Structure formats: structure tokens, C-alpha cells
Chains A and B, each alone.
Chain A
Amino acid sequence: GQQLNQSPQSMFIQEGEDVSMNCTSSSIFNTWLWYKQDPGEGPVLLIALYKAGELTSNGRLTAQFGITRKDSFLNISASIPSDVGIYFCAGHYAGKSTFGDGTTLTVKP
């Protein structure tokens, strides 16, 4: 079946630093999505990408849909303590979403 490789698995950064994480797959997806999950809650959609090569921003977050449709990255600029959480990428194809294993982000004040 389809699998996503998300990296890094975890990150420990200082407040104010930029963050970069990515997802790769051997399969093509029509849509790439990024979610954030806070402790005790369900994932929340951050950014959705629909076209190969598309670059989309949402505040301090920027995500790109890889040109081969097999990868995506998420950047967070000037991190703040509330950025702490688990970030998931998801690829969507034929009515099904496949999720990466998540990147756990810790931000030290």
C-alpha cells in the first residue's frame, strides 16, 4: 500500500528559530495536506496543496507540493512556544488519505 516517509521524527529548537520538515512517497498524490495535533486533541488542518509545484503560505507556515507529486515540505518561520505539537503530512488519492508518522516539535523558550 501507499506509505509516506516523514522526517525528521522529532525536533528540539529554540524559540525564534525556523523549522523545516518534509514527506516523501513512492506513490503519486493529487493533494498534499499538513495537519497539527496538540496533546489531547484531534489533528487540525493547516495547509492543503492541490497542484504540483504549488507553494502556499498560512501566516508563518509555508508548504510546497513537490513537482513530482511524490513529496511535500512544511516550513515554520520564527517559531513560538505554541508551535509545540505533532505535525502530520497526508497524501490524498482516490478518496483516501495516507498519513505520515508525524514530526514532534518542541520549542524551548
Chain B
Amino acid sequence: KAGVTQTPRYLIKTRGQQVTLSCSPISGHRSVSWYQQTPGQGLQFLFEYFSETQRNKGNFPGRFSGRQFSNSRSEMNVSTLELGDSALYLCASSFTQGVSGELFFGEGSRLTVL
């Protein structure tokens, strides 16, 4: 069974630009969650989507947004990038995250903002 696939793996942007990251969950998984990982803040929850609906949202500004498509694939977008947005962005899928909490993570997209 293929794992969670995230693209791109690495990207460099400049302040003020916007970025879109993509996540393909494990086949059959309908829940996709996004996390931001930085050395100082650890793993911070961004949002979770299930059946194309945002079910939960973390404490991030509105510049961070996401969506989920009918095939469960998900994208997250960050607009007006700031230096502090440099981080590893992790996507995780689960059959139904709200019940068990068991997450299967991708390898992440490492964003560097210059």
C-alpha cells in the first residue's frame, strides 16, 4: 500500500510570495491533517479535512488555508509568506482521525522563506 505522498519535497520562496503544497493520502483514508514542524515550536496542528470539509483548525493566521478534493487529496496554501513560515510542513492521513488519532505521515515539504 503506497504511503502518504507530499509534493514538493523542498522549495524556496521569498517574503510576500505564496505557496501551495500538495498531499495524497493513503488509499482509502478520508481524513487529512496538516502540521507545521519547527525546531522551536515542535509539531503544531494547522487543520484537518474529512470528506472535503474542514473539521478542525489550529491557531494559525488566515494566511494559512487548505482544501480537500473529492478523491481525498489535499492542498494547503500559505499567502504573503513571512520568514517565520520557514518550516517542515507535514501531511498525515487516517481512515477517520477523529476516532482513533492514529496518523500516517508523509515525508514533508520543507519550505524556506528568504
Contacts and interface: CB of A to CB of B under 8 A. Distances in A.
Contacts of B76: none
A48 interface: yes
Given A88-B43, A96-B56, A40 B103 contact: no
A98 B59 CA distance: 12
A7 interface: no
Contacts of A40: 107
Most chain B beta carbons < 10 A, residue from A40, A42, A96, A101: A42
B48 A45 contact: no
A97 B108 CA distance: 18
Contacts of B59: 1
B48 A48 contact: no
Interface string A7-50: 00000000000000000000000110101000011111100101
Interface of B: 4, 33, 35, 42-43, 45, 48, 55-56, 59, 90, 92, 97-98, 100-108
